[in-house]
A and B are shown apart, each in its own frame.
Chain A
Amino acid sequence: MPQLEEIFQRYTDALSKIILHKWAEDTERDEHGHWVGGGGGKPGGSGGTGGATTGGDRAARAKATHQVCDKAKRGIASASEVEVSKALGLARTEDNKPFDAKGNGVAVELKTIVSAKNDKITMHPESRKRKLAEAKKEKLRVYTVVVDKRGSTPAYYWAKGVGSFRLGGMNQAASLAALKKVVK
């Protein structure tokens, strides 16, 4: 009964994917903060510090996973953050405050993509909880704004809420002036 075997195999494969799939806190969300798409978790993915590695290996592995923010990248991101905060009429926050910019009942998480190949931004689950707790406590309207600086001119994206987003799932604003009209 080859057909029956094939059906059974498909069923078990699908079931395995469901069981192994992780709907983690930091998977991609829509503008309402709901999980979207196929989820971002990988079976057996994050966690731990791995096996024995040399110093060079460790740095290479870390770089392979994350965009490492050196001084040059931070400079670009800071300039972007200053520009966007000013355009939106918000103040940049200090220390380790949950949001990057706040004012007039609005809180914004700002991200600048400088050189990443990926069109996705992520957020640590605890960081997201802190932001949402502050938003609830202070009755803030919360937005995520991404400035994509990989092209010849910056592109601006925005979404309500905070979390992990793909640029394709966010709204694009034609300019900073246009961004100010929606992030309010």
Chain B
Amino acid sequence: VSYEVANLSKSLGQFASGKGLDDLAASVEAAKGIPELKKFIESGISEDVPKLITDLTTLAKTAASDVADTATGLATMIDGQESVIITDGTLADKED
């Protein structure tokens, strides 16, 4: 599963492979002091993007290089958004 991050209406692009997000989630669970990122990984939704970016930046400073790359890339993609969600490219409702 290639995971994408989306705002209210559209995908902003892929930020992690399936294993990439598994690795990020494992690092987040092991870390402390990054509550918005923990919430985002748990629920798939963040409505406080500035805090989320701060947490991603914090994690990137101590995480393994692959995870740090994923965190940094995600922080760049969501900059300026109000709300973001994790999605896998499957759609919520019938379109037609």
Contacts and interface: CB of A to CB of B under 8 A. Distances in A.
Nearest to A60: B8
A46 interface: yes
A122 B2 contact: no
A67 B92 CA distance: 5
Contacts of A14: none
Interface residues of B, number: 49
Given A70-B42, A95-B17, A111 B89 contact: yes
Interface stretch (A3-11, A48-56, A151-159, A169-177): A48-56
Interface string A61-97: 1111111111101100110010000000000111111
Contacts of A117: 92-94
B83 A58 contact: yes
Contacts of B88: 67, 69, 73, 77, 111-112
Contacts of A64: 92-93
Secondary structure of the B side of the interface? mixed
B19 A94 contact: yes
Interface residues of A, number: 53
A122 B23 CA distance: 24
Contacts, number: 181
A172 B5 CA distance: 29
Contact of B25 (A53, A71, A73, A92): A71
Contacts of B1: 74, 77-78, 81, 100, 110-112
A136 interface: no
A81 to B, nearest CB: 4
B38 to A, nearest CB: 10
Interface string A33-61: 00000001000001111100101001101
A65 B82 CA distance: 16
Interface string B69-96: 1100100000001111111111111110
Contact of B45 (A48, A59, A77, A111): A59
A121 B2 CA distance: 11
B8 A111 contact: no
B89 A95 contact: no
Given A63-B92, A81-B1, A99 B17 contact: yes
Given A53-B8, A95-B20, 20 more contacts: A49-B8, A61-B8, A62-B6, A62-B83, A67-B88, A70-B43, A77-B18, A81-B1, A92-B18, A94-B19, A95-B23, A96-B16, A96-B17, A96-B70, A100-B2, A116-B92, A118-B92, A124-B89, A127-B13, A130-B14
